[in-house]
Amino acid sequence: MKSGAMTPEQQLQQFREQFARQLPDRCNQLGESYARASAGDASARTELQRALHSLVGAGGTFGFPQISQLARQLEQQVREGLLPSALEFQAQLRGMVQLVQLPRPAAAVAPTATTLHPLPRELVYLAMEGAHSHELLDQLQKFQLKVHLAADAAGLQSLINERQEQSCLVIVDCQAKLPFDCPLFSAESAVDWQRHVLLLMSTRRDFTMRLQAAKLGARAVLAKPLNLPELLEVLERPEFDQQAAPYRVLVVDDDLSVASYHAAVLRSAGMKVEICSDVLRVDIVVQDFAPELILLDLYMPGWDGPDIARALRMDNQSLGVPLVFLSSEANRAVQLGAMRDGGDDFLVKPIQPQHLIESVQIRARRYRELRNAMLTDPLTHVLNRRALMLGVEREFARARRLNAPLSAAVIDIDRFKQVNDSQGHQVGDTVLKGLTQLLRQRLRKSDLIGRLGGEEFLVVLPETDLTTAWALLDDIREQFSNFDFIGVSGRLHVTFSAGISQWREQSATLWLAEMDERLYAAKSAGRNRIVGRGDDTPI
């Protein structure tokens, strides 16, 4: 088999693509079984149910959790003897096929950078009244955003229609006056702006303007001339991030069947769930899995939920994680007692799956927002030093457990002080933001990006060996060096150097020191390069 040369991620990606390619065929077969089943053919009905059932299992496994959800609904209807109408069934099948046709990132240069990207990949741009932004378009393309230019409102509409069910990112450049008279933005518009992301660009950005923009359905008003970091920052808001990492939920319950059920419900909504049925192991699992919410049974043998809550709260690290009790206890006084002991919410069993999912999602989202604010650098929105070090320890544990390679790089912007001194701090800040945004674009969600301080950053790449890490970083270095920043006297090019290292079970401090040494070697060898060995050769 040729798979020997591929990383597991690449192999998985191949299977995902294969699954996506075959889905239309699978759906056609489902349609045929459905037709025969609705004509009264009992064996076709069994066949239909089986095929849907296997799609429930396959969809999420191949990276399309919503397909599992849709298939599960259909399977249930078929099992209960309620065949949906033909129209409805066809619509559901079409929905599934569209889910796999959403643009997925094309394979980039480095194999590790092929998975999740936070930003939409395509945008439609319309300049009203002949405004121009060619420079911007160049820059957007460097960030691997594909830009379609619309000549006028009609062109914009047809570009959006071409993308059918897909959600589009639309930027309308509209000078000082918002296009209230344009039918595209009227209440009777042929375009449903709820479904797309509309950003307006204007020379005015006062509150009245923003109110008017909101009335048009826009999500943000960007300053004109547009600067790229600002646009990217808007796009990184969680509401635009359609592929945000799933919430991590820990279910603590001594009854495995109950725990498995709750886990299955939460997983069906795309969350990542771990079960712990042994109270004494809770803290290990918490450290390892870093849950964003803990669902806790109120009564367990030996230890009660409130005991566990108090014990968890004693540890600084899990202080803020929401704890939600889940129990059949209906006594309000007992419930309140449990909350006093550190619980955040009390859900009474049996609970409707949808209710459980929503309660968990709301709290996990709030926690994630809060944690992001606490653990990220306010300027660049990457991890701050403290969060970074916690993350590194977690990756150590993971690498040990999976026996997988782990690499990291210390990145330092070349001659940053000169940029700051000659161009001013604003330009300096833009450079820092530009670098972090590029890193976010090119790295995976599971990679860590953080600011060590000043112009020094650390990226941690799990399941990546030194050679792969070097190739990836070097490609990013090249891309960054071609990037145009706008300085006080025109275009400005900035480079970075990095020292990378593959972890050999040393302490975090020693590991960082090794990277620092290599970074120093890169600087003395003339900057704008990546060093992954003790001497000044690359790797």
Partner 1 sequence: MSESLARVVYVEDEPDIQAIVRIALEAIGGMKVTVFSSGQEAIARAAEAQPQLLVLDVMMPGLDGPGTLRLLREQSALRDVPVIFMTAKAQPQEIAALQQQGAIAVISKPFDPMDLAAELRQHWRTWQIANAGQR
Q: Give the torsion sign (CA, 422, 423, 426, 431).
A: negative
Where helices occur in 115-255 by DSSP H, the ranges are 134-142, 153-162, 207-216, 228-235
Q: How far is the CB of 13 from partner 1 (least distance, A)?
A: 10
CA-based nearest residue to 135, from 425, 125, 478: 125
Q: Which stretch binds partner 1 (CB under 8 A): 49-57, 183-191, 314-322, 506-514?
A: 49-57
- Check: CB of residue 366 under 8 Å from CB of residue 432: no
CA-based nearest residue to 323, from 357, 360, 358, 349: 360
11 in contact with partner 1 (CB under 8 A): yes
Residue carrying structure tokens 């998985």: 12
Interaction with partner 1 in 423-462: which residues (CB under 8 A)? none
Label residue 403 exposed, middle or buried (CB < 10 Å: 0-12, 13-18, 19+): exposed
CA-based nearest residue to 269, from 290, 244, 247: 247
210 in contact with partner 1 (CB under 8 A): no
**73-92 burial string, b = 16+ CB within 10 Å, else e?**
ebbebbeeeebbeeeebeeb
Q: Which stretch binds partner 1 (CB under 8 A): 95-103, 272-280, 337-345, 421-429?
A: 272-280
Q: Which stretch binds partner 1 (CB under 8 A): 138-146, 367-375, 396-404, 416-424?
A: 396-404
List Cβ<8 Å contacts ≥24 apart for 29-36: 30/55, 30/93, 31/89, 31/90, 31/93, 34/83, 34/86, 34/89, 35/86
19 in contact with partner 1 (CB under 8 A): yes
256 in contact with partner 1 (CB under 8 A): yes
Q: Which of 33, 37, 60, 414 binds partner 1 (CB under 8 A)?
A: 60
Q: Which of 38, 61, 212, 376 binds partner 1 (CB under 8 A)?
A: 61
164 in contact with partner 1 (CB under 8 A): no
Active site residue 239: no
Q: How far is the CB of 23 from partner 1 (least distance, A)?
A: 11
Q: Which stretch binds partner 1 (CB under 8 A): 48-56, 103-111, 329-337, 385-393?
A: 48-56
Q: How far is the CB of 10 from partner 1 (least distance, A)?
A: 10
- Check: CB of residue 455 under 8 Å from CB of residue 413: yes
264 in contact with partner 1 (CB under 8 A): yes
Q: Which stretch binds partner 1 (CB under 8 A): 156-164, 211-219, 221-229, 399-407?
A: 399-407
Q: Which of 272, 313, 394, 533 binds partner 1 (CB under 8 A)?
A: 272
Closer residue to partner 1 (CB): 19 or 457: 19
**Helix, strand, coil shares, percent, the chain, to 5:** 50, 15, 30
Q: How far is the CB of 31 from partner 1 (least distance, A)?
A: 20
263 in contact with partner 1 (CB under 8 A): yes
Of the candidates 292, 395, 455, 514, the residue annotated as catalytic is 455
62 in contact with partner 1 (CB under 8 A): yes
Closer residue to partner 1 (CB): 10 or 101: 10
To the nearest 10°, report the CA torsion of 324, 327, 329, 332: 20
**C-alpha separations of 378 from 44, 370, 385 in Å:** 58, 13, 12
Closer residue to partner 1 (CB): 2 or 401: 401
260 in contact with partner 1 (CB under 8 A): yes
Query: CB 364: neighbour CB atoms within 10 A?
Result: 22
What does the alpha-carbon distance between residue 535 and residue 517 come to, in Å, rounded to a whole number? 10
347 in contact with partner 1 (CB under 8 A): no
Q: How far is the CB of 285 from partner 1 (least distance, A)?
A: 9
Active-site residue set: 455
Interface residues with partner 1 (CB under 8 A)? 3, 7-8, 11-12, 15, 18-19, 50, 53-54, 56-62, 65, 68, 72, 256-258, 260-261, 263-265, 267-268, 272, 277-278, 401-404
